[in-house]
């Protein structure tokens, strides 16, 4: 099949924040995941596990959303400040009724973000909180004077932080209050009014957006909450949550992460590419109210959701991964890149030990493995803040359960140093794809080419075999008169770097 890439036609910037992550107080994501505590024998810096921090820095994690998810609307930030021994022990009612001793609170989380070199994205409580609580959290973080600034200094942080990204509620149509959009829109305006800008720290407010293809939600939010009655812009982003949940329509999901057949593979590809239709639909609604795209579509939860790994607590949402998830990640990121005029932030759910994680750790702060999704994010780091390049493809379309998806999907970008990066995936589980790539109007030198593939589609990285599915050089790339040609194995992702 033919791919034609146009290096001389750079388009919009691919915001690095579409490669963001999410850490909820859920299962072993934070506690016994990223956080091991200062006294752990596992190497850590002020309680945060150093090997995971290093792995996340390698994929240049741009932002991290916290503390939820559903947990955010049960979370009261004051529980997580002050001397740790005095912090209250709260029930995590959403996720298994475990006790959260609040060892990780605002200071600890923001320390993690500083260690990672990423932007924090705080999710404020609307469902069981108050405008005052949001107002005071923002003030606690940003004020240079007053009681809350003094309290922050007494807790060890004299200098204010600068936290740009604030979510105002999470899934307010469900766990965040079970509201209709007509109920949430005025609530949003009220809460957002008190999430104030401080000098030098303007907020990027994200309203709680739709689930899946609920375009009505987006319509009402754009109509009633995007602008205040006097015309001020009330949000900079409107969120969207969409998970790929294959298999029977049961809750919790029953589809196995690793025990799937060809039909299971195709379901994930088809449901993954459905993101394109969903984003397209929300974009069209937002375009009607905001043709200049001043508000972003923020896909702050996405990923695959399977049955929990046998033998683990089903409330902890711990699941394994295969190359299928690597290809799903590539397909989804390609959708975001193709819509980067409007999609400017996105967060994979979740970063460690929960759903489509980039790393898994053994219980009790044991060994860790990287997942195929980590490899894909490493490949896509070349696209951070680069300019999208058009890629024309004559790839066939597959159809599964009435959903269409491309046999091959590719995206490309032009980096600030003039180099060109192509990422391409083969969604077919059984057939290789022969790619004939033309770089239109440009002589280019191939500098590197890597491949993520697995001869066994259900193979996964385990603590004993941590790199069973991993990136290796893409062999057999041949120069042609107009570019290069290569074969993509069944179910694989490749990245090519040209100068």
Binding interface with ligand AHR (CB under 6 A): 24, 68-70, 170-171, 301, 349-350, 355
- For ligand AHR, give the closer residue by CB, 74 or 276: 74
20 close to 61: Cβ distance less than 8 angstroms: yes
- For ligand AHR, give the closer residue by CB, 24 or 375: 24
User: What's the closest the beta carbon of residue 109 comes to ligand AHR, in angstroms?
Assistant: 16
Task: Reduce the secondary structure of 72-90 to three states and give it as a string.
Answer: HHHCCHHHHCCCHHHCCCE
DSSP 78: G
User: What's the closest the beta carbon of residue 52 comes to ligand AHR, in angstroms?
Assistant: 18
- For ligand AHR, give the closer residue by CB, 282 or 383: 282
State the chain's maximal CA–CA distance in angstroms. 70
Distance from C-alpha of 73 to C-alpha of 488, rounded to nearest angstrom: 44
Distance from C-alpha of 316 to C-alpha of 96, rounded to nearest angstrom: 7
Distance from C-alpha of 459 to C-alpha of 419, rounded to nearest angstrom: 34
- Ranked by CB distance to ligand AHR, the top (closest) residue is 69
User: What's the closest the beta carbon of residue 69 comes to ligand AHR, in angstroms?
Assistant: 3
In the chain the first and final C-alpha atoms are separated, in Å, by 23
108 a catalytic residue: no
User: What's the closest the beta carbon of residue 16 comes to ligand AHR, in angstroms?
Assistant: 22
- For ligand AHR, give the closer residue by CB, 185 or 348: 348
How many CB atoms are located within 10 Å of the residue 156 CB? Answer: 10
Distance from C-alpha of 348 to C-alpha of 337, rounded to nearest angstrom: 15
Distance from C-alpha of 75 to C-alpha of 72, rounded to nearest angstrom: 5
Closest CA to 354 of 49, 48, 23, 20: 23
User: What's the closest the beta carbon of residue 415 comes to ligand AHR, in angstroms?
Assistant: 32
171 a catalytic residue: yes
- For ligand AHR, give the closer residue by CB, 240 or 330: 240
Distance from C-alpha of 125 to C-alpha of 141, rounded to nearest angstrom: 16
The residue annotated as part of the active site, out of 108, 136, 171, 187, is: 171
The residue annotated as part of the active site, out of 301, 309, 341, 434, is: 301
Residues acting as catalytic residues: 171, 301
């Amino acid at each position: 099949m033919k791919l034609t890439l146009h290096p001389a036609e750079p388009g919009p910037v691919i915001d690095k924040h579409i490669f963001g992550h999410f850490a909820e107080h859920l299962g072993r994501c934070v506690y016994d995941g990223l956080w091991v505590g200062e006294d752990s024998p596992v190497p850590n810096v002020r309680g945060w596990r150093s090997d995971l921090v290093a792995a996340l820095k390698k994929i240049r994690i741009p932002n991290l959303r916290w503390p939820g998810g559903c947990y955010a609307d049960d979370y009261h930030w004051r529980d997580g400040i002050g001397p740790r021994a005095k912090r209250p022990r709260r029930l995590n009612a959403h996720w298994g009724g475990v006790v959260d001793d609040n060892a990780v609170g605002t200071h600890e989380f923001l320390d993690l973000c500083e260690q990672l070199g990423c932007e924090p994205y705080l999710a404020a409580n609307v469902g069981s909180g108050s405008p005052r609580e949001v107002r005071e959290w923002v003030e606690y973080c940003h004020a240079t004077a007053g009681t809350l600034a003094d309290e922050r200094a007494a807790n060890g942080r004299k200098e204010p932080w600068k936290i740009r990204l604030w979510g105002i509620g999470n899934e307010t149509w469900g766990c965040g209050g079970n509201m209709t959009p007509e109920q949430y829109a005025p609530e949003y305006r009220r809460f957002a009014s008190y999430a104030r800008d401080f000098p030098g720290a303007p907020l990027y407010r994200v309203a709680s957006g739709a689930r899946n293809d609920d375009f009505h939600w987006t319509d009402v939010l754009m109509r009633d909450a995007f602008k205040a009655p006097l015309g001020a812009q009330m949000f900079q982003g409107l969120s969207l949550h969409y998970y790929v949940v294959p298999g029977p329509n049961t809750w919790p999901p029953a589809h196995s992460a690793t025990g799937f057949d060809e039909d299971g593979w195709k379901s994930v590809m088809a449901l993954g590419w459905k993101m394109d239709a969903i984003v397209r639909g929300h974009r069209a609604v937002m375009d009607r109210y905001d043709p200049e795209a001043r508000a972003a579509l923020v896909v702050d939860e996405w990923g695959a959701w399977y049955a929990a790994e046998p033998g683990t607590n089903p409330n902890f949402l711990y699941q394994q991964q295969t190359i299928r998830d690597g290809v799903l990640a590539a397909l989804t990121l390609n959708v975001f890149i193709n819509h980067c005029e409007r999609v400017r932030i996105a967060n994979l759910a979740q970063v460690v030990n929960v759903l489509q994680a980039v790393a898994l750790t053994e219980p009790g702060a044991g060994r860790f493995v990287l997942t195929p999704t980590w490899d894909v994010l490493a490949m896509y780091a070349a696209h951070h803040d680069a300019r999208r390049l058009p890629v024309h493809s004559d790839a066939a379309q597959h159809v599964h359960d009435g959903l269409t998806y491309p046999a091959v999907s590719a995206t490309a970008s032009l980096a600030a140093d003039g180099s060109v990066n192509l990422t391409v995936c083969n969604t077919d589980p059984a057939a290789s794809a022969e790619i004939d790539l033309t770089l239109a109007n440009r002589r280019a030198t191939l500098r590197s080419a890597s491949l993520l593939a697995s001869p066994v589609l259900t193979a996964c990285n385990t603590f004993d075999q941590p790199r069973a599915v991993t990136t290796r050089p893409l062999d057999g790339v041949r120069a042609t008169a107009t570019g290069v040609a290569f074969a993509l194995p069944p179910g694989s992702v490749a990245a090519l770097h040209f100068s």
